[in-house]
Amino acid sequence: MKALTINESGWCDVALHCPSPHFNQRPCGSDISLLVIHNISLPPGQFGGGFINQLFLGCLDCNYHPFFEQLQGLEVSAHFMISRDGQLTQYVSTAERAWHAGVSCFDTIANCNDYSIGIELEGTDTLAYTDVQYRSLTSLTKSIQRRYPLITTQRVTGHCDIAPGRKTDPGKIFDWQRFKSGL
């Protein structure tokens, strides 16, 4: 895979750019210092179909599937999403605050959206991620760490760790050792 680059505007050169309306400015003085790994599938356990894009872009038809009814009015985004086939999509500039973490805390500092970058993996807590997802995630993480050196390997975490009891992703099936040994 080609080495990825995050430019000064916070956009990845090889990602598909799908700008989300669900973002805002980071608070003044917020140093980008955390990377949060998530998972998502819509409907749960189903892949493809474009529903994740629709959710992050604010155009999901909540009448299409019964599960989607609970997503009505939800404004959520991530900086990146990696599909099952390794395709990298970017929704929000890394310089901006995406709305991925919700109520959260890392190392006693609340509001992780203020200082983090969020990466969604298309998947579930219980289904193994694909080899190409791990390769894409590793390459993307390295480029993020080059752009934001405060994101050390110790400051790469799961949604489950910043919102315990509320979130479980990326799940126990996620191979942290495999991922972090590649960094």
- 8 flagged as catalytic: no
Tokens of 144: 């993020």
Question: What is the residue whose two structure tokens read 């972090």?
Answer: 180
Nearest-CA neighbor of 42 among 52, 56, 31, 28?
52
SS3 content of the chain, % helix, strand, coil (to 5): 25, 20, 55
CB-based contact 128:174 (threshold 8 Å): no
Catalytic residue, chosen from 8, 96, 120, 122, is 120
Q: Which residues are marked as active site?
A: 120
